[in-house]
Amino acid sequence: MQIDLRTVSIQPQRNAFDHLVRRFGDKPASRYQEGSYDIQAAENLHYRPTWDPEQQLYDAGITRIVMRDWYALKDPRQFYYSTYTLTRARQQDTTEANFAFVESRGLADRLAPELREAVLRLLVPLRHAAWGANQNNTFICGYGFGTTFTQPCMYHAMDSLGIAQYLSRLGMLLGDVDALDAGKAAWLDGPAWQPLRRYVEDCMVVRDPFELFVAQNAALDGLLYPLVYGRIVDDELSARGASAVAMLTQFMAEWFDETRKWVDAVLKTAAAESDHNREVLQGWMAHWSDRAAAALVPVVELVLGADADEAVAAHIAAFKARIHKTGIPF
Amino acid sequence: MDMKATKKKLGMKERYRILTRDLGWEPGYQSKKAIFPYVEYEGIKVHDWDKWEDPFRLTMDAYWKYQAEKERKFYAIIDAHAQNNGHLNLTDARYLSALKIFLQAISPGEYAAHKGFARIGREFPGVGTQVACQMQAIDEIRHAQTQIHAMSNYNRYYDGFHAFADARDRIWYTSVARSFFDDAMSAGPFEFMIAIGFSFEYVLTNLLFVPFMSGAAYNGDMATVTFGFSAQSDEARHMTLGLECIKFMLEQDPDNLPIVQGWIDKWFWRGFRVLGLVSTMMDYMLPKRVMSWREAWEIYGVENGGALFRDLARYGIRPPKGWDDAEQAIDHMSHQFMLGLYQWSFGTAFHSWIPSDDDMAWLSAKYPDTFDRYYRPRWAHIKKLKAAGTPFKNYGLARLCQCCQLPCVFTEPGDPTLTCHRETVYKGEKYQFCSDGCKDIFEHEPEKYIQAWLPMPALFSELGGDVAAWMDWVSLRDGADNGDYDGSRDQRHFDEWRGLATSNL
């Protein structure tokens, strides 16, 4: 039997805030829309920054990319703080369970010593590269224009910090604090890591937020994550008996699959905006992905040895195909 | 299997160090100056970033977990609030004026803080400092969003909320808060930290949040109470960050003291002026009042602030220069503000009103030395004009202070019968101020403050003084959003809907 509960019904006076009605029509707005569109001050900015009087406080002109409306760069995941945090908290539960599983069953100790060494040699220095990604995304969030573009960069920055922390825990679980020290020494002085460290440091002086987005989130991560967490950890090392490591890096693999959809959507919209944008993006993409690939070869060699060139080449081809689909052939 | 036993045991502090600070490194391919270009020009000397004490030790896994828990609760409550017409539990819809001001002026400030902390979370060279600032950056966007989401349902039923994004950039009174946050963001990283992290979050935040959230609870506003409570543990982190940062600066080099003191003087006064609107909310806008502005000032200003500055005295810090002037203003400011808001209510996207006899009795009791003597007679006069059918409306435009951007409605320290007015000439132009505090701030950085966007001159230069065109430009609906609460649509709707909910008529 159906019971109709009687409630007091009163007529709403309007559906949504004015700025959302102007964008999306006179209908109720989603929480993503409410929390993202037009919430950055747009007009009548009071003072020029004392740190760079050439700039405005929010300045779309500090990048070479030109958008009529920066809010067009929306996030297909529709992440605002709440949906972002809930998603990561769920993943964190899984990651925690994976660490606990590996630890409680002593799986780390069962790894063959040379395999454990290979894992530490490859993954531990990457915690510093992840810190670089944190720095660069914090920058894009701080200086980029328009909340739909910049807010995911803050989430991305915190994710990168989280990844750096997971890699540190992995290092401590498989090795010890000494393993982290050795990893840092390799990052600072090991020949295999110098091209990558140079790449990361060079990114830290790029002050065009969109170029930095291309250099870090598209070019570097677009090659590094599939190579390291896909080709090496999930395929190569698992086959050699280190599937426990794949459990510890499950977050990174899933995170990359999720975030690349956002990165692609941003690139696609920016490229579709104008020929000018497409040309600028092509130039950046060619420059940074060439450098990223070259920087990653010696890193991949640490585990794959002579197969490194071929692995990197295959992933460059896959990366080009991916970026081609966003309308940026290079 | 022996390996486990030989692993080093890590204390909390050491573990946190490894998970944060140890991630950074001394750059070798780029200079530190190129990577952190803004950290020196303010003159603050830092010799050792490692001396930074992490004010809270939160790793990302814990952050996601705690915050997600809070988010789940928050949205469950505001969903229920919206579904059950929670707005009808308000004491009275007059209360909403406080929320409208909050959404138009303060929530955009949360967003500005988000951007500012992202910037300094990148610009400070110490990893510990950066991580703490980044966490505040992501928290602040949370606050902006939870506030917008909490007030979204009010927007569906009441006037004055719908154009908050337009009001933020264009309406005259929001430029008070906007100029405050723009001022902080256009400063260097250390001054930003003093402005927002210390002055606003530490010294003044209790004066904003505690009265506001208690006011919301007292007046049946579950949505606002919920975002307040939900933000509280974030705020606790932000306060410890602000305090740690100021101590760090003072401990690093004695030369930092005069610079920091100057910023404390400036940002205390800037903050005091912005928060002045809270005084009006507490004394006039809450139908059911929590405490008077004077009482709040005694607790959160005099007691807490006094203890703080006694604590900082060991570094050579003295209380802010404007402290005594602030103390003198406490018994006057809420009345002066409300009288101002009432006379200019044609131009506000919220309502004001003449206090009732009961309200005035309460004000007399709370302000025995000032209300009956200086302000009751003015309200009595305004009431008489209204009864005679000639309500008091001031269509003249207010003279705004070049610094804080409030109308110059305050009186001289020491003489409540004389309007305080200061001016200065810079490069042949005359500039007006509401107080010595604001004039001093201008004179210290005139090149900055001459850039201020002042809404009243803009009304003339851009719209030729056409008030109707101005209302369109700021998206203010005349006869709905503005004016006296008495006779407003909000009043009519609230009474009608509440009648539907509570009676059988």
ipTM score assigned to the predicted complex = 0.97
Q: Is A164 in Cβ contact with B30 (below 8 Å)? A: no
At B348, list the tokens.
């506000």
Cβ–Cβ contact B112 with A under 8 A: yes
> Could you tell me if residue A100 is left (phi over 0), alpha (psi between -120 and 50 degrees) or otherwise beta?
alpha
Give ∠ CA A83-A84-A86 in degrees, rounded to 5.
Answer: 65
- The rounded mean pLDDT for chain B is 93
Structural domain boundaries in chain A:
78-324
At A17, list the tokens.
């805030």
Q: Rounded distance, CA B310 to CA B325, Å?
A: 19
**Binning pLDDT at 50, 70 and 90, where does residue A289 land?**
very high
pLDDT at B502: 76
Using CB atoms, pick whichever of A43, A45, A159 lies closest to residue B170.
Answer: A43
Using CB atoms, pick whichever of A15, A82, A143 lies closest to residue B156.
Answer: A15
pLDDT tens, A101-153? 999 999 999 999 999 999 999 999 999 999 999 999 999 999 999 999 999 99
- The rounded mean pLDDT for chain A is 96
Domain B47-353+468-502 class in CATH: mainly alpha
Using CB atoms, pick whichever of A45, A51, A95 lies closest to residue B188.
Answer: A51
pLDDT at B232: 86
pLDDT tens, B314-356? 999 999 999 999 999 999 999 999 999 999 999 999 999 999 9
Instruction: Give pLDDT < 70 ranges for chain B.
Output: 1-6, 505
pLDDT at A54: 96
Residues of A in contact with B475 (CB under 8 A): 18
Q: What is the dihedral of CA A227, A231, A237, A240, to 10 degrees?
A: -150
* Lowest mean pLDDT segment, chosen from A183-187, A253-257, B48-52: B48-52
H/E stretch holding B488 reads none
Q: Rounded distance, CA B453 to CA B173, Å?
A: 12
pLDDT at A7: 64
Q: Is B449 in Cβ contact with A85 (below 8 Å)? A: no
Q: Is B68 in Cβ contact with A46 (below 8 Å)? A: no
Residues of B in contact with A40 (CB under 8 A): 111, 115
Using CB atoms, pick whichever of B19, B35, B169 lies closest to residue A42.
Answer: B169
Residues of B in contact with A205 (CB under 8 A): 30, 34-35
CB A264 within 8 A of CB A191: no
> Could you tell me if residue A327 is left (phi over 0), alpha (psi between -120 and 50 degrees) or otherwise beta?
left
Residues of A in contact with B441 (CB under 8 A): none
pLDDT at A63: 98
Indicate whether A13 pLDDT > 50. yes
pLDDT at B505: 58
CATH topology of domain A78-324: Ribonucleotide Reductase, subunit A (1.10.620)
Q: Rounded distance, CA A127 to CA A183, Å?
A: 9
**Binning pLDDT at 50, 70 and 90, where does residue A1 land?**
low
pLDDT at A8: 66
Q: Rounded distance, CA A298 to CA A316, Å?
A: 15
Question: Which residues of chain B from 15 to 54 reach within 8 Å of chain A, CB to CB?
Answer: 18-20, 22-30, 34-35, 37-38, 41
Task: Report the residue of A19, A22, A71, A82 to disrupt the B interface, i.e. the one with the largest count of B CBs within 10 Å.
Answer: A82
**Phi/psi of residue B426, nearest 5 degrees:** -130, 125
Residue ranges matching CATH 1.10.620.20 in chain B = 47-353+468-502
Q: Is A161 in Cβ contact with B169 (below 8 Å)? A: no
CB A160 within 8 A of CB B134: no
